[in-house]
Amino acid sequence: MRHEGGDGYTLRVTPVALTIAGSDPSGGAGLQADLKTFLRFGVYGEAVVTLITVQNTRVVSRMEVLSPELVRDQIEAVMGDIPPGAAKTGALGNRAVVEAIADLAADFTFPLVVDPVFLSTGGTPLLDEAGRAAMAKRLLPRAFLLTPNLEEAALLVGFPVEDLASMRNAAEVIASLGARNVLIKGGHLKSEAVDILLLHNGKVVEFYAARLTTRNTHGTGCSYAAAITAELAKGTQLEEAVGRAKRFITQAIRQAPGLGGGMGPLNHAV
C-alpha cells in the first residue's frame, strides 16, 4: 500500500498480510488471533472468513462453513484492491472451500502460509476428512510454507510423529507432496518445544524453546503462523521470520492474561 506524504514526495510502503480463516468469537484463535498478531508486527491485516464457530475458552459448540463462492468472492474483492504481501490459511471447514482457495492460489504472486488446522485446541474437527485429502492434493503444492503440529503432521503422512527423527521424516514426506518449506511444531513433545524447519534447499533448522506448562495455549498455532506471515509480508527471509515468530509466541504464552475458564488466550500485545 502506498501513501503520498503531505509534501507529495514521501512514499511509504505499508506491509499488508491476509488471513483466510475461521472466526473464534472469544478472540483467542482463528482470524481474530491473526489480526491481533498482524497488528503487533506492524502489518496491515485483512481477513477473509471461511467458517464461523460458536465457542469460548471451554468448548466449541457449533461450526458453520461458508459457501465456497462466498469465500472466493471475498478473496477476489481483496486481491483486486489491496493485494497482500503474504497470506495464510487457517481453519477451512470442508473440501469445497479448500478447492476454491487452491484454485485462486494458483495466481498468488506472494508467499502463502498454510496452517493445516484439522482440530480446535480442544479437539473439535475444523476440517473434514475429504477436506484433509483435498488439502494434501490441491493446497500443499501451492504452499510456500506448511506449519503442522505433531498431530496434523501424523494425519498428513500416515505415521506417528512424536520425536525429532519422525519430525524430520514427516517434513521430508510433506515436502515431497509439494510444500516448498515445512515447519513441524513440536510444542507437544514430551521434552523441549523444538520446531523443525525444512527449507526447500534441504537445509534443516531447529528452533528451541523451554517447554511451558500452561493451559493458556488457545490460538497458539494460528498466532505463530500469523507472525511468520507478517514477517514474510515485510520481506523477511523465512528462517529469520520463523525465529522472530517463535520468540513472540513463547513470550505471548508466558505472559498470557489468564482469561476464561478453559484453555485461555495468549497475550498478543507482548
Catalytic residues: 185, 217, 219-222
The answer to whether residue 117 forms part of the interface with ligand PLP (CB under 6 A) is yes
For 69, 110, 264, the CA distances from 255, given in Å and listed in that order, are: 40, 32, 11
Q: What does the angle CA 135 – CA 140 – CA 146 come to, to the nearest 5 degrees?
A: 105
The answer to whether residue 187 forms part of the interface with ligand PLP (CB under 6 A) is no
Cell numbers at residue 50, please?
471461511
Site string for ligand PLP, 207-246 (x = CB under 6 A): -----------xxxxx------------------------
Residue of the chain from 37, 56, 94, 120 that contacts ligand PLP (CB under 6 A): 120
Q: Is 201 exposed, middle or buried (CB count within 10 Å of its CB: 0-12, 13-18, 19+)?
A: exposed
Residue of the chain from 16, 91, 161, 228 that contacts ligand PLP (CB under 6 A): 91
Eight-class DSSP state of 6: T
Query: Of 37-76, which residues contact ligand PLP (CB under 6 A)?
Result: 53, 55
The answer to whether residue 22 forms part of the interface with ligand PLP (CB under 6 A) is yes
Beta partners for residue 12, in sequence order: 3
The answer to whether residue 183 forms part of the interface with ligand PLP (CB under 6 A) is no
Beta partners for residue 17, in sequence order: 45, 86
Q: Which is nearer to ligand PLP, 65 or 198 (CB)?
A: 65
Q: Which is nearer to ligand PLP, 199 or 218 (CB)?
A: 218
b/e map 100-110, b = 16+ CB within 10 Å: bbbebbeebeb
Q: Which is nearer to ligand PLP, 157 or 249 (CB)?
A: 249
Eight-class DSSP state of 27: S
Query: Of 163-182, which residues contact ligand PLP (CB under 6 A)?
Result: none
Residue of the chain from 84, 90, 111, 148 that contacts ligand PLP (CB under 6 A): 90
Q: Could you tell me if 266 and 219 are in contact, meaning their C-beta atoms sit under 8 angstroms apart? A: yes
Q: Where are the alpha helices (DSSP H) in 66-185?
A: 68-79, 95-105, 129-134, 150-157, 164-176
Site residues for ligand PLP per CB under 6 A? 21-22, 24, 29-30, 53, 55, 90-91, 117, 120-121, 126, 218-222
